[in-house]
Amino acid sequence: MQLDDAAWSSPWRRRSVAEKALLCLGLLLVAATTGSPVVAAVVGLLVTGLALLTAMVPPGLWWRVLLGPAVFVAVGAVTVALDLGAATGSDVWRLGPVGMTTSGVETALLVSLRALAATSAMLLLAATTPMVEVLSALRRVGVPGPVVDVAAVMYRMIFGLLEAMAAIREAQAGRLGYASGHAARRSLGQLVAAVMVRAWTRAARLEDGLAGRGGVEAVPMVPARPVSLPFALAAVVLVTVTGAASVLVAL
């Protein structure tokens, strides 16, 4: 929710989705395909700089939303770096059959930097583009209606469920539902059950409402914004330079 709020207040909100997608998806492609940890790190730093200095994403929010993927990447990197077997001449660390080799650590570092850079690129797009504009852009580029329908319904349901969850929790707290550990566990179970029932009911109502109006396709789209040529050219230059650096390093 805070990410969506940041998108609405970002200076990049009035920019065309196409030009932001060109920049973010281009950098994501470079990050996902590069074989150099240096290029991946540069892409990640470049995206972070754009997010904090030009898109004006609040620094605290940026690092918080990046923390979850970073933890997931770190756990994956450990599994990549670990090696099972006998000791080798390239061991960095070993305890019995479990160890880390130089090549394993290098691979884990490369995978981690690539994943973080690619995630940062997607977060930059999410932190500067409200969801309603993303859905409109998907419809304009010809994404099948049912796919956009599902995404739109899920987006609308998030707000309803969060509101319901807050109201139920406040009522439980007013009845001392969280005054002790036993009461908190019981209240939490009741909260989950109540939210699930409301989710099912609201989903049915939302489906009926959209079906009555002809689906999401019948809802007016956000008009496409004009593409800024300087911004698009700058995006092409950034993507081209980082892509060329990746190719040169690989040669």
pLDDT tens figures, 157-197: 777 778 888 888 888 888 888 888 888 888 888 888 888 88
Distance in angstroms (rounded) separating the CA atoms of residues 139 and 144: 7
Enumerate residues 6+ apart whose C-beta is below 8 A from 114: 31, 32, 34, 40
The answer to pTM > 0.95 is no
CB of 15 closer than 8 Å to CB of 231? yes
User: Average pLDDT, stretch 199-217?
Assistant: 71
Answer with the residue of higher pLDDT: 202 or 106. Answer: 106
The continuous run of DSSP H or E covering 101 comes out as strand 98-101
Question: What pLDDT sits at residue 53?
Answer: 93
Percent of the chain residues topping a pLDDT of 90: 37
Say if 134 falls within a structural domain: no
Phi, psi at residue 84, to the nearest 5°? -110, 130
User: Average pLDDT, stretch 190-214?
Assistant: 77
- Of how many residues is the chain composed? 251
Distance in angstroms (rounded) separating the CA atoms of residues 214 and 56: 38
Question: What pLDDT sits at residue 215?
Answer: 59
107 and 161 both lie in a single domain: no
39 and 95 both lie in a single domain: yes
pLDDT band at 219, cuts 50/70/90?
Answer: low
pLDDT band at 221, cuts 50/70/90?
Answer: low
79 and 169 both lie in a single domain: no
* Beta-carbon-side half-sphere exposure of residue 241 (alpha carbons within 13 Å): 10
- Give the chain's domain count: 2
User: Average pLDDT, stretch 3-29?
Assistant: 89
Burial of 169-203, coded b for 16+ CB within 10 Å and e otherwise, reads: beebeeeebeeeeeeeeebeeebeebbeebeeebb
Distance in angstroms (rounded) separating the CA atoms of residues 82 and 113: 17
The continuous run of DSSP H or E covering 82 comes out as strand 82-84
Question: What pLDDT sits at residue 22?
Answer: 93
208 and 155 both lie in a single domain: yes
Q: Give 22-80 pLDDT, tens digit per residue.
A: 999 999 999 999 989 999 999 999 999 999 999 999 999 999 999 989 999 999 988 88
Question: What pLDDT sits at residue 138?
Answer: 84
Tokens of 18: 């196409």
Locate all alpha helices (DSSP H) within 85-218, ordered by sequence.
102-128, 131-140, 145-174, 181-212
Average pLDDT, the chain: 85
104 and 174 both lie in a single domain: no
28 and 116 both lie in a single domain: yes
Flag whether pLDDT at 218 surpasses 60. Answer: no
Question: What pLDDT sits at residue 114?
Answer: 94
pLDDT band at 213, cuts 50/70/90?
Answer: low
Q: ∠ at Cα 87 (81, 93), nearest 5°?
A: 45
Distance in angstroms (rounded) separating the CA atoms of residues 105 and 187: 46
118 and 153 both lie in a single domain: no
Full domain range(s) for residue 168: 144-212
